[in-house]
Chains A and B, each alone.
Chain A
Amino acid sequence: MTYPGSDGGRVVPAYALTRGRTRSVGRDLPLETLVTATGPGLSRQSGLQAERRMIVEMCVGPMSVAEIAAHLRIPLGVARVLVSDLASGGYLTVHLPHQTGDERPGVAILERLLDGLRAR
């Protein structure tokens, strides 16, 4: 397996991976959204195109959309669309932040975060 860009250049432009879509799907996924591979996704991923397969393999443990973009060296917008596609196809489970829109994390999450950081 070769990483995109690691051998001197990407053959297919990043936006071709999403067939030109960057706005219609997945636009609203926050960049910290966590993604995990599903069981069926892990057993079926070998038939996928390279970038999509790498995303499924990478998401054996929770990975953020931002990490996926960085590891595959693709723009965030492209990562959002690919993740969204793979989630629709049943390959991935998407774990959104608990709060939505402009809200901030609630007291329960903040207290847990504080406990976790203090314990480090």
Chain B
Amino acid sequence: MDFGRADRLPTGGVPLGTPTAPNYPPAGYPAVPGAPGAGLQPPRRPAPIPVKTVIAGGFGVGKTTFVGAVSEIQPLTTEAVMTSLSEGIDDLSAVRGKTTTTVAMDFGRITVDDQLILYLFGTPGQSRFWFMWDDISRGSVGAVVLVDLRRIDDCFGPIDYFEDRRVPFVVAVNNFPGTDRFADADIRDALALRPDCPLLRMDARDARSCLATLILLVEHALARTTAA
């Protein structure tokens, strides 16, 4: 079956134990319980370790695109309690073509090695969803704050949030049309970024670019951990 979005689940008849996603199940795990060779023994593998990062930013800035570009599974959505709240509230004026909002949290997954599994959680950007951010950012490696320079105000909330809680973060300026004329120094100024906070230009549609952003984040988190 396709372990994709919940709304694309098949209507029945396909057992859940037969995923066909290319990287699922990870190497070494039997595809189907009881399949030839699989037996009913637990897989003899090292215990898996979960880690996570937060992908934050304003509405329509590209969080879901980012997650989708690097995730090995189709981005999933968990049901949020406040699903319909943002209807009619989100400002869509600068986000041409985006007609619906996903208030629920999108997330993806990268199997880093045979033991380490990285989850990327895209968080609803508005401050009224900060109750979800606590859940997501606690224990995380850190956060990527995605910025749309046409609507720079949207990222003040996330930046304040992560600074207050001492969550390591990098600022990733998503290359929307017409945003390349701003100098990095001016962006740092406008966002009141601390000198040690990394900033990069990237394209959330491009997997390599998203991967480079995640690498920068882990480097930054590592530097902060070893300096502490």
Contacts and interface: CB of A to CB of B under 8 A. Distances in A.
B90 interface: no
Contact of A60 (B3, B29, B218): B29
A107 B75 CA distance: 28
Interface stretch (B45-53, B153-161, B173-181, B182-190): B45-53
B112 A112 contact: yes
A25 interface: no
A60 to B, nearest CB: 5
B13 to A, nearest CB: 7
Contacts of B36: none
B139 A104 contact: yes
A98 interface: yes
Interface string B103-126: 001010110110011110100000
Contact of A110 (B10, B13, B77, B141): B141
A36 B50 CA distance: 12
A114 interface: yes
Contacts of A34: 48-50, 117
A109 B49 contact: yes
Nearest to A56: B33
Contact of A112 (B43, B50, B110, B116): B116
B211 A120 contact: yes
A3 B119 CA distance: 24
Given A1-B16, A67-B109, A102-B138, A109 B51 contact: yes
A62 B26 contact: yes
A118 interface: yes
Interface string A11-52: 000000000000000000011111011110011000000000
B48 A117 contact: no
Contacts of A75: 78-79, 81
User: Contact size class for A?
Assistant: 35 or more
A66 B78 contact: yes
B11 A105 contact: no
A2 B31 CA distance: 20
Interface residues of B, number: 64
A69 B30 CA distance: 22
A87 interface: no
A42 B33 contact: yes
Given A32-B50, A60-B17, A113-B51, A70 B77 contact: yes
19 contacts: A2-B11, A30-B50, A31-B135, A37-B33, A57-B15, A57-B17, A57-B33, A60-B30, A64-B117, A66-B78, A66-B107, A66-B121, A67-B109, A73-B6, A75-B81, A97-B50, A110-B218, A112-B113, A113-B141
Top 8 A-B pairs, shortest CB-CB distance: A61-B25, A116-B112, A70-B76, A61-B29, A62-B48, A2-B12, A32-B50, A57-B17
Interface of B: 3, 6, 9-17, 24-26, 29-34, 40-43, 47-52, 73, 76-79, 81, 105, 107, 109-110, 112-113, 116-119, 121, 135-136, 138-142, 168, 211, 214-215, 218-219, 221-222, 225-226
Given A62-B117, A64-B50, 12 more contacts: A1-B15, A54-B16, A61-B29, A62-B48, A66-B76, A70-B77, A75-B78, A93-B42, A104-B225, A105-B221, A110-B225, A114-B222
